[in-house]
């Protein structure tokens, strides 16, 4: 194995320096635990950034990948493959949408949604929320709020940004020229801000009033993360388009964009496509992941353990705790970068979304004991910092 110091040096010479990484090289994972190159163990409350919902290397997902890899890995979308069709049917059932388009990441699912809006409405103007994150490709980036992400890459097709959870602001921004409103039901990258159910219901009405489509970006909130299969269920609002990725295929890269009837039918043959999308191997992994979420009641587990985690964190006296299910944001007076570093030294992987906010998004298979340990480490780190 390459020594960590040497690995870090070689990374800096061989890989574009676009990521800020923590000083750790991970080599193995199981459930909510990962191990580094020195054999040290960590509780993973980042979970691949809300990807490892079924835990690291879930045996059923590993088995499905192995079996499919020995049979057929990839053929292209020039041919029919069974796993892709069965997966689309599963997603239809779970989301209430009519048809699925497969892709390979969250940003790609947003790109597909943006193209579909143009096809279905003939309009291209989008209204998005302040603090939003929809991805880094040019189309998705135009709808991502943080000016430091957008400014170096202008010109972009940029959304009109409105304050989140503000019905009046949304109503004022959406016009007859709007093609769509795109919203995260819970804003993850921003630090876990939850949309009010009334706000999402109002968004539905505002879109209907002008013939605009409503897109829910559930890339981060999907597959049980918020204590429902999809976060839209908390409000009961059915959007026209849903974007998915992250947890979908148990850790392998996959995305999907789903839409309701007439909207989905607006895409014609040749309108969009991707070489790897919905391949046999990745679809097998996604089907196994969905099966594990069902078999192990992970949606309910997320709701219950999320409530437990928030209650335990409250005792640490944060400024604010937000979240649904096992998607939790906590504002602290402390320097969160130092907190994350301290937690790492004490065997816990955490993520800070800003100077004073940490986000906790563990695998949904996490146990109460593991939560207790993480809360204890955060508490001790906070004491050290004060
Ligand atoms: C809500 C949301 N949309 C889109 C994306 C982009 O996904 P990806 O990084 O897979 O392109 C993310 C990633 O964090 C996200 O949280």
With a 6 Å cutoff on the Cβ, whether 218 touches ligand 1 is no
With a 6 Å cutoff on the Cβ, whether 328 touches ligand 1 is no
Q: Are residues 285 and 353 in the same domain?
A: no
Tokens of 348: 């816990």
Non-local (6+) Cβ contacts of 188 within 8 A are: 50, 133, 220, 221, 327, 359, 361
Q: Would you call 133 a catalytic residue per the annotation?
A: yes
With a 6 Å cutoff on the Cβ, whether 356 touches ligand 1 is no
Q: Are residues 194 and 281 in the same domain?
A: yes
Q: Report pTM.
A: 0.98
Output the CA 182–ligand 1 centroid distance in Å.
13
Burial 31-50 (b: 16+ CB within 10 A, else e): bbbbebeeeeebbbbbbbeb
Q: Are strands 99-103 and 213-217 parallel, antiparallel or unpaired?
A: unpaired
The tens digit of pLDDT for each residue in 31-62 reads 999 999 999 999 999 999 999 999 999 999 99
Atom of ligand 1 nearest to the CA of 108: 11
> Which among 44, 217, 223, 240 is annotated as catalytic?
217
- pLDDT of 385 reads 74
Mean pLDDT over residues 144-153, rounded?
A: 97
Burial 88-115 (b: 16+ CB within 10 A, else e): bebbeebbebebbbbbbbbbbbbbbbbb
Output the CA 135–ligand 1 centroid distance in Å.
5
Q: Are residues 26 and 140 in the same domain?
A: no
The tens digit of pLDDT for each residue in 188-245 reads 999 999 999 999 999 999 999 999 999 999 999 999 999 999 999 999 999 999 999 9
Non-local (6+) Cβ contacts of 124 within 8 A are: 117, 118, 157, 179
Atom of ligand 1 nearest to the CA of 105: 10
Would you say residue 369 lies in a domain?
no
How many whole angstroms separate alpha carbon 26 and alpha carbon 358? Answer: 21
With beta carbons less than 8 A apart as the criterion, state whether 219 and 150 touch: no
Q: Are residues 179 and 320 in the same domain?
A: no
With beta carbons less than 8 A apart as the criterion, state whether 33 and 56 touch: yes
Atom of ligand 1 nearest to the CA of 221: 1
How many whole angstroms separate alpha carbon 76 and alpha carbon 276? Answer: 6
Q: Would you call 123 a catalytic residue per the annotation?
A: no
DSSP 8-state secondary structure symbol assigned to residue 79: S
Would you say residue 386 lies in a domain?
no
| Domain-terminating residue out of 295, 322, 353 | 295
Range of the domain at 332: 298-364
CATH number, residue 324: 3.90.1150.10
Would you say residue 193 lies in a domain?
yes
Q: Are residues 257 and 335 in the same domain?
A: no
Output the CA 3–ligand 1 centroid distance in Å.
32
Would you say residue 71 lies in a domain?
yes
What three-state secondary structure class fits 262? helix
Domain count, the chain: 3
Q: Which residue has the tokens 């078999």?
A: 295
Q: Are residues 27 and 159 in the same domain?
A: no
Residue with the bigger pLDDT between 186 and 383: it is 186
Would you say residue 254 lies in a domain?
yes
Q: Are strands 99-103 and 33-36 parallel, antiparallel or unpaired?
A: unpaired
First to last CA, the chain: 39
Q: Which residue has the tokens 């004073």?
A: 356
| Domain-terminating residue out of 295, 321, 343 | 295
Mutate to test the pocket of ligand 1, among 49, 103, 133, 249 (most ligand atoms within 8 A of CB): 133
Would you say residue 265 lies in a domain?
yes
Q: Are residues 287 and 314 in the same domain?
A: no
- pLDDT of 326 reads 98
Length of the chain: 386
Output the CA 39–ligand 1 centroid distance in Å.
31
Mean pLDDT over residues 54-74, rounded?
A: 98
> Which among 123, 228, 246, 267 is annotated as catalytic?
246
Q: Would you call 217 a catalytic residue per the annotation?
A: yes
Burial of residue 169, with CB atoms counted within 10 A of its CB: 0-12 exposed, 13-18 middle, 19 or more buried: middle
Question: Within 13 Å and on the Cβ side, how many CA atoms surround 316?
Answer: 26
Would you say residue 316 lies in a domain?
yes
With the C-alpha atoms ordered 185, 149, 178, 274, is the resulting torsion angle positive or negative?
A: negative
DSSP calls for 1-60: ---HHHHHHHHHHHS-S-----S--EEEEEBTEEEETTS-EEEESSHHHHT-TT-BT-HH
Q: Are residues 238 and 330 in the same domain?
A: no
Question: Within 13 Å and on the Cβ side, how many CA atoms surround 24?
Answer: 23
CATH number, residue 77: 3.40.640.10
> Which among 45, 102, 133, 267 is annotated as catalytic?
133
Burial 306-341 (b: 16+ CB within 10 A, else e): beebbebbeebebeebbbbbbbbbbbbebebeebbb
Q: Are residues 156 and 305 in the same domain?
A: no
- pLDDT of 174 reads 98
Backbone angles phi, psi at 52, to 5 degrees: -85, 55
Q: Are residues 156 and 188 in the same domain?
A: yes
**Residue 184 C-alpha from the chain's centroid:** 10
Would you say residue 166 lies in a domain?
yes
Q: Are residues 195 and 248 in the same domain?
A: yes
Q: Are residues 261 and 354 in the same domain?
A: no
The tens digit of pLDDT for each residue in 93-125 reads 999 999 999 999 999 999 999 999 999 999 999
The tens digit of pLDDT for each residue in 330-384 reads 999 999 999 999 999 999 999 999 999 999 999 999 999 999 999 999 999 998 8
Output the CA 232–ligand 1 centroid distance in Å.
17
């Amino acid at each position: 194995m390459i020594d960590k110091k040497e690995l870090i040096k070689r990374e800096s010479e061989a890989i574009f320096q676009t990521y800020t990484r923590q000083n750790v090289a991970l080599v193995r994972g199981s459930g909510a635990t990962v191990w580094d190159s020195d054999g040290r163990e960590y509780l993973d409350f980042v979970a691949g950034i809300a990807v490892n919902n079924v835990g690291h290397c879930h045996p059923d997902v590993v088995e499905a990948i192995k079996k499919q890899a020995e049979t057929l890995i990839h053929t292209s979308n020039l041919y029919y493959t069974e796993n892709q069709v069965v997966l689309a049917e599963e997603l239809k059932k779970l989301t209430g949408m009519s048809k699925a388009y497969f892709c390979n990441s969250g940003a790609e699912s947003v790109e597909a949604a943006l193209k579909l809006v143009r096809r279905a409405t003939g309009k291209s103007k989008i209204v998005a929320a302040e603090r939003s994150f929809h991805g880094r490709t040019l189309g998705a980036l135009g709808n991502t709020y943080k000016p430091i992400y957008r400014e170096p890459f202008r010109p972009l097709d940029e959304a009109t940004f409105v304050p989140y959870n503000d019905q009046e602001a949304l109503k004022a921004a959406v016009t007859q020229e709007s093609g769509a409103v795109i919203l995260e039901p819970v804003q993850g990258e921003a630090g876990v801000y939850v949309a009010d159910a009334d706000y999402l219901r109002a968004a539905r009405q505002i879109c209907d009033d002008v013939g605009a489509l409503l897109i829910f970006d559930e890339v981060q909130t999907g597959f049980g993360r918020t204590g429902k299969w999809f976060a839209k269920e908390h409000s009961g609002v059915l959007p026209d388009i849903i974007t998915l990725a992250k947890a979908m295929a148990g850790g392998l890269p996959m995305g999907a964009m789903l839409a309701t009837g007439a909207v989905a039918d607006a895409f014609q043959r040749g309108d969009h496509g991707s070489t790897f999308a919905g391949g046999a191997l990745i679809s097998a992994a996604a089907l196994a992941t969905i099966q594990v979420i069902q078999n192990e009641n992970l949606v309910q587990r997320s709701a219950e353990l999320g409530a437990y985690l928030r209650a335990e964190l409250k005792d640490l006296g944060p400024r604010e705790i937000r979240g649904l299910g096992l998607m939790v944001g906590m504002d602290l007076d402390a320097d969160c970068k130092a907190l994350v570093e301290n937690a790492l030294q004490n065997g816990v992987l955490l993520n800070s979304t800003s100077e004073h906010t940490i986000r906790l998004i563990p695998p949904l298979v996490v146990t109460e004991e593991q939560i207790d340990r993480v809360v204890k480490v955060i508490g001790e780190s906070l004491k050290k910092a004060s």
